[in-house]
């Protein structure tokens, strides 16, 4: 129990066994999906990270572990170490039970004093939080709708809606400093919804900010808690545009079965975004995460030349505008239909006639027997 990793792993295991969907649309984000998102945004020791719907603090814990692994020097530098323990991590939630679980999770993972506090992130009282963070990682609730009375007016100015997932996206833009990055999970409806609020938000992400990537997740990722189809959005706050192209990835497998049991399809060393053993083509079919990470890192080079028939490809901004800012991967992915040579119809008819004659003869033989 002296070992931080042992305590943390034990606690995570316990959370995995007791976690269930809450009344507020909460459900636990799979840890391998969290780790993929953290690797993609590559947190730095000087970042200020926020999860406005933190739950059990899975994203914050993953950022902490990533920094320990990738930037061990940050814990030996007095200034950076103080920032790590007292200024780097910020999590908000309005479920007191989740806050207690999340605080304990951070403590067991060796963070002395994270800001994990009670706050309704969408309510009017989040003044003073604007442009405070350099990194936002979140899986906000898709619980449905709120009443306008309690919702922050500045969020409603960006997008007039009652849908929590849209309000949270608006909030992320408000919380980020210019140049800040975000990796967030959204329901598929955000990508192609036809309401004014949906379209306005997508237009803001593409025209006013820099939308980097849309990663479509397999349908069963959140089972057994929810069967909702989701995607990961990665964007950078610029307030001045900058979207030249958007990188799309159509993920089909995450290393686990997509049913309620969610059993591992590969040995443990081949799971996750950074497997301990190299994956071959057969393994890739069962676990796309390493491929997502590798291709994300090449998105400015080789990926620009990939065809839209591939699993990942880049779409220029002009095409997005032409499609009305639709972000669903199926709008842009091209499917190759294999040509099938059928027999001439008269040959098929001749065969049918022959079979029909045989059937009639068989029936006559049976009648004769009777």
Residue reference for tokens 């500045």: 154
Within-domain flag for 342:
no
Within-domain flag for 23:
yes
- Torsion angle, CA of 64/66/72/73, rounded to 10 degrees? -80
Residue pLDDT, tens place only, 58-77:
999 999 999 999 999 989 99
What is the pLDDT at residue 164?
87
What is the pLDDT at residue 19?
53
What is the pLDDT at residue 21?
45
Q: Check whether 127 has a pLDDT greater than 60.
A: no
Residue pLDDT, tens place only, 161-207:
888 889 899 999 999 999 999 999 999 999 999 999 999 999 999 99
Residue pLDDT, tens place only, 20-49:
444 455 567 888 999 999 999 999 999 999
What stretches of 109-152 show up as alpha helix (H) in DSSP? none
What's the domain count of the chain? 1
Query: What is the pLDDT of the chain when averaged over all its residues?
Result: 89
Task: Among 62-71, 127-136, 260-269, 302-311, name the most confident range.
Answer: 62-71
Within-domain flag for 353:
no
Residue reference for tokens 């506090």: 117
What is the pLDDT at residue 18?
62
What stretches of 19-54 show up as alpha helix (H) in DSSP? 31-41
H or E segment and range at residue 102? helix 96-108
Among 128-132, 166-170, 249-253, whose mean pLDDT is lowest? 128-132
Once rounded to an integer, what is the mean pLDDT over residues 103-128?
84
Within-domain flag for 358:
no
Within-domain flag for 370:
no
Within-domain flag for 262:
yes
Contacts of the segment 145-152: beta carbons below 8 A, 24+ positions apart:
146/122, 150/120, 150/122, 150/123, 150/124, 151/122, 151/123, 151/124, 152/122, 152/123, 152/124, 152/126
Within-domain flag for 190:
yes
Give how far the C-alpha of residue 121 lies from the chain's centroid of Cα atoms, to the nearest Å: 20
What is the pLDDT at residue 2?
62
Q: Check whether 152 has a pLDDT greater than 90.
A: no
Q: Check whether 219 has a pLDDT greater than 90.
A: no
Once rounded to an integer, what is the mean pLDDT over residues 245-254?
95
Q: Check whether 140 has a pLDDT greater than 70.
A: yes
- Tell me how far CA of residue 157 lies from CA of 74, 166, 277, 324, in angstroms: 40, 12, 49, 21
The CATH number of residue 52's host domain is 3.40.50.150
What is the pLDDT at residue 128?
64
Neighbours of 322 (CB within 10 A): 10
Within-domain flag for 343:
no
Q: Check whether 6 has a pLDDT greater than 50.
A: yes
Q: Check whether 274 has a pLDDT greater than 80.
A: yes
- pLDDT category at 341 given cuts 50, 70, 90 is confident
What is the pLDDT at residue 143?
64
Range of the domain at 250: 4-331
Once rounded to an integer, what is the mean pLDDT over residues 298-314?
90
Q: Which two tokens stand for residue 226?
A: 């929810």
Give how far the C-alpha of residue 215 lies from the chain's centroid of Cα atoms, to the nearest Å: 7
């Amino acid at each position: 129990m002296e070992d931080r990793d042992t305590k943390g792993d034990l606690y995570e295991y316990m959370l995995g066994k007791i976690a269930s969907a809450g009344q507020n649309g909460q459900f636990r984000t799979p840890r391998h999906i969290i780790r993929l998102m953290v690797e993609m945004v590559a947190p730095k020791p000087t970042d200020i990270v926020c999860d406005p719907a933190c739950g059990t603090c899975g994203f914050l814990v993953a950022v902490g572990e990533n920094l320990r692994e990738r930037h061990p020097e940050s814990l030996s530098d007095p200034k950076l170490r103080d920032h790590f323990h007292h200024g780097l991590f910020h999590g908000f939630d309005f479920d007191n039970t989740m806050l207690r679980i999340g605080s304990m999770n951070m403590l067991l993972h060796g963070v002395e004093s994270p800001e994990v506090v009670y706050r309704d992130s969408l309510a009017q009282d989040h003044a003073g939080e604007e442009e405070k963070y350099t990194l936002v990682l979140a899986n906000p609730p898709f619980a449905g709708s709120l009443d306008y009375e309690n919702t922050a007016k500045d969020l409603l100015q960006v997008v007039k809606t009652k849908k929590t997932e849209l309000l949270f996206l608006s909030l992320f833009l408000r919380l980020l400093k210019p140049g800040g990055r975000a990796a967030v999970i959204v329901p598929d409806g955000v990508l192609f919804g036809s309401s004014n609020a949906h379209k306005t938000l997508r237009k803001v992400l593409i025209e006013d900010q820099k939308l980097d990537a849309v990663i479509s997740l397999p349908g069963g990722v959140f089972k057994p808690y929810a069967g909702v189809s989701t995607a990961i959005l990665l964007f950078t706050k610029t307030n001045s545009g900058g979207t030249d192209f958007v990188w799309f990835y159509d993920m089909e497998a995450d290393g686990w079965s997509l049913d309620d049991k969610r059993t591992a399809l590969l040995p443990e060393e081949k799971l996750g975004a950074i497997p301990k053993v190299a994956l071959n083509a057969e393994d890739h079919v069962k676990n796309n995460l390493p491929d997502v990470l590798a291709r994300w890192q090449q998105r400015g080079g080789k990926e620009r030349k990939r065809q839209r028939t591939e699993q990942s490809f880049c779409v220029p901004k002009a095409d997005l505008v032409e499609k009305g800012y639709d972000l669903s991967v199926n709008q842009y992915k091209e499917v190759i239909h294999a040509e099938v040579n059928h027999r001439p119809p008269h040959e098929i008819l001749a065969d049918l006639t022959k079979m029909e004659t045989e059937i009639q003869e068989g029936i006559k033989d049976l009648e004769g027997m009777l």
